Amino acid sequence: MIAHADYIAGLAKGLAVLESFSPERQRLNASQVAERTGLSRAAARRQLLTLEHLGYLESQDGQFWLAPKVLRLAGAYLRSARLPRLLQPVLDRLALATDEACSAVVLDGAQVVIVARSMPAAGRNPAHARSAPMQFAQGLHLGARLAAHATSTGRMLLACLRPRDLSTWLNEHSPLARLTAHTTTDPKALLRLIEQARLADHCVAHEEHELGVHALAVPVRNLAGEAVAALNVVTRPERLQPGPLERELLPALQAATRELLAQV
């Protein structure tokens, strides 16, 4: 917990304003930002104008939106943070071994964030090429934020939480959003799936975050046994049947996590 004297409220407010923009609300006025952040309209307006002056926002006719300069913040993380740099070459080898798209994510509140990703070599698998437009229509880019409860990686990371922390997470983030007709939104049902993932040490999700997306995830642990990320492959449903899963995909993912064990 930070000491009150060390807390910079103005910085916190500015970051809250930046975070108030979303794919659903790409343009906001001062009143809308105030509603989304809990600031007064006057305070929201000052924050918006300051961020525009600094180059992080653009505006027209009272509407504000994020400017490309915001990417400097994400770019600095990807260039300097140790975890993405360790994960990327391992993901590249995993994509080559499985001929599938692979991602690495971390848990951030109600969502998981993609911090590294790799795509299979073009043309290796004709069946993959036919399914790719549907499978990868949404979300698979660096920095993408996906609902934890509806993804294989999110459930895997939730399975690695202590029971008390998992209970807190469910209390804070319920009700759970329904993203497709297959999304599990009942907390008790989700807990059962999370427990299955914990016991199996891997997690499969079928079309819960997006139609056409089927994925398998495993945790990435450090030497202390703490889960620091999760890896997944997005594939066709037939590859997630018990036989192919246990012969092909799961061993490849587990080999990738063993390679990372002493590094993360």
Confidence (pLDDT) at 123: 47
Q: 130 and 30 in one domain?
A: no
Confidence (pLDDT) at 129: 45
Domain tally, the chain:
2
pLDDT in tens, 108-150: 999 999 999 999 876 455 544 444 433 443 446 888 899 999 9
Distance CA 166, CA 96 (A): 34
Confidence (pLDDT) at 32: 97
Q: 85 and 61 in one domain?
A: no
Its pTM stands at 0.83
Q: 155 and 64 in one domain?
A: no
**Statement: residue 164 has pLDDT above 70:** yes
Q: 104 and 46 in one domain?
A: no
Q: What is the CATH number of the domain that holds 25?
A: 1.10.10.10
Comparing 235 with 137, which gets the higher pLDDT?
A: 235
Q: 111 and 41 in one domain?
A: no
Distance of CA 95 to CAs 35, 183, 209, Å? 43, 27, 21
Q: 94 and 216 in one domain?
A: yes
pLDDT in tens, 48-57: 999 999 999 9
Domain termination site, one of 49, 70, 91: 70
